[in-house]
């Protein structure tokens, strides 16, 4: 479930996030391709001028989580059951930008 489709600047950023959005297709693309990483890897890849967007994820196991996607880096953060996990998708840089699903389908 996506409560707010528009992206916002990452914490501490003044990035212009207009035109950046999250939708079900982008979340699926990320989730189907992402590999779990570490908090250190996430911090090394962090872009302080990035945009981010969030989606609520419902798993088949009937659990839920909140997935935050970073636009510029291909990283995402899943918060679930009090635990934070980090995922990287090499083909997901720019995932919140215009036309991303069209590029991803190629």
Per-residue pLDDT of the chain (106 residues; tens, 9 = 90+): 566 677 888 877 788 888 898 999 999 999 999 999 999 999 988 776 789 999 988 888 878 899 999 998 999 999 999 999 999 999 999 999 988 865 554 4
Q: How far apart are CA 69 and CA 92, in angstroms?
A: 9
Strand pairing category for 75-80 and 51-58: unpaired
Q: How far apart are CA 83 and CA 101, in angstroms?
A: 29
Residue 54, classed as helix, strand or coil, is: strand
> Residue 37, Cβ neighbours under 10 Å: how many?
16
pTM: 0.84
């Amino acid at each position: 479930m996506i409560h707010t489709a528009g992206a916002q600047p990452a914490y501490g950023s003044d990035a212009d996030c207009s035109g950046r959005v999250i939708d079900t297709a982008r979340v699926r693309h990320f989730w189907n391709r992402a590999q779990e990483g570490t908090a250190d890897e996430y911090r090394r890849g962090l872009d302080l001028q990035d945009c981010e967007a969030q989606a609520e994820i419902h798993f088949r196991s009937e659990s839920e989580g909140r997935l935050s996607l970073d636009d510029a880096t291909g990283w995402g953060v899943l918060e679930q059951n009090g635990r934070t996990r980090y995922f990287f998708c090499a083909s997901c840089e720019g995932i919140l930008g215009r036309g991303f699903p069209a590029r991803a389908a190629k």
